[in-house]
Amino acid sequence: MAFSARPRTVWKIRSREFALGERTLVMGILNVTPDSFSDGGAHRDAEAAARHALALLDEGADLIDIGGESTRPGSQPITAEQEIDRVLPVIGMIRRERPDCVLSIDTYRSETARAGVQAGAEIVNDVSGFTWDPKMSAACAELGCGVVLMHTRGRPAEWKTQARLAPNEILPLVKEGLAQSLERALSAGIDRERIVLDPGFGFGKAGDTNYTLLAHLDELLALGQPLLAGVSRKSFLGLAIAGGEKVAPVSTRGNATLAATTAAILAGAHMVRVHEARPAVEAVRIADAILANV
């Protein structure tokens, strides 16, 4: 596939707009959890989490995605109350220090989405694509926030035992699932200009099927929405680094993350979700410079 310029569009969030396609946006990951696959427990304390968010912004992140529940393979769900208790203090601290920064709440629960947006988040990032909480689409329509709809195959507790997909099955599955999530959002009254789609690398996709999805990411642009790609530190990168059946540790996946992130941009991603902002910003600038000459 030759590189191709991304469609340019405007992403309307709650109180402002982002121009998408002119340059790639960098979404910094902030996990306020004890058990996330990459940095669980590192930012569990609200003050430490807020400091990390400010550091990500200082390193060039355009927005921060705050999550209070891990969705790593095999993770167990928590209650909405627990999730809200984790994220709201962090949102408050960040907003006090940087009142103009853009925050996203990473949740599949309508209660948490409402609490997060009311506390100052502008975006709801739902890893289930509006499939795990029947009230979520109506809540986001009412809140008037931006939304990210991710494709997920099954639940985290199922991923380790799921049947593996053939390479030719992955793209149709993701495309159809995202189309259904998009229709669910539109039917709820959410404006198309508020919606970004995410293919959900690693979310119910095992091993090499993630590379098939990455290689054909541009085909998802046919759905008519901007794309977000979250490949940072994912296990499929660790498999390729180590070779065979081994998986390289999370701490060694930084260079692989930059390679996959750059590939995603050149394949059509308008926004990337990353754990480390500064190296991602540098990779983004190179990828954007290439696309400027297509």
Per-residue tokens: 288? 């954007």
**pLDDT of 39 higher than 70:** no
Catalytic site residue 164?
A: no
Predicted confidence (pLDDT) at residue 1 exceeds the cutoff of 80: no
The CATH homologous superfamily for domain 16-291 is: Dihydropteroate synthase-like (3.20.20.20)
95 catalytic? Reply is no
pTM: 0.94
Domain ranges of the chain: 16-291
Going across the sheet that includes 63-67, the strands are: 195-198, 146-150, 123-126, 103-106, 63-67, 25-31, 271-274, 228-229
Could you give the CA distance from residue 194 to residue 27 in angstroms, rounded to a whole number?
A: 16
- Per-residue pLDDT band for 4 (boundaries 50, 70, 90) equals confident
Helix axes 136-143, 167-187, angle to 10 degrees: 50
Residue 126 CA to its chain's centroid (Å)? 9
% of the chain surpassing 70 pLDDT:
95
Task: Return d(Cα 13, Cα 17) in angstroms, integer.
Answer: 6
Q: Give residue 40's pLDDT.
A: 47
- pLDDT at residue 109, rounded to an integer: 97
The whole-angstrom separation of Cα 170 and Cα 176 is 10
Quick: pLDDT tens for 175-233.
999 999 999 999 999 999 999 999 999 999 988 899 999 999 999 999 999 999 999 99
Lowest-pLDDT range of 82-86, 230-234, 243-247, 278-282: 243-247
Range with the lowest mean pLDDT among 71-75, 80-84, 91-95?
A: 71-75
Confidence check: pLDDT of 37 > 60 = no
Candidate list 12, 86, 109, 234, residue with the active-site label: 234
**Among candidate residues 169, 162, 158, the one with its CA nearest the CA of residue 132:** 158
Pick the closest to residue 255 from 287, 271, 231 (CA basis): 231
Among residues 23, 175, 253, 273, the one annotated as catalytic is 273
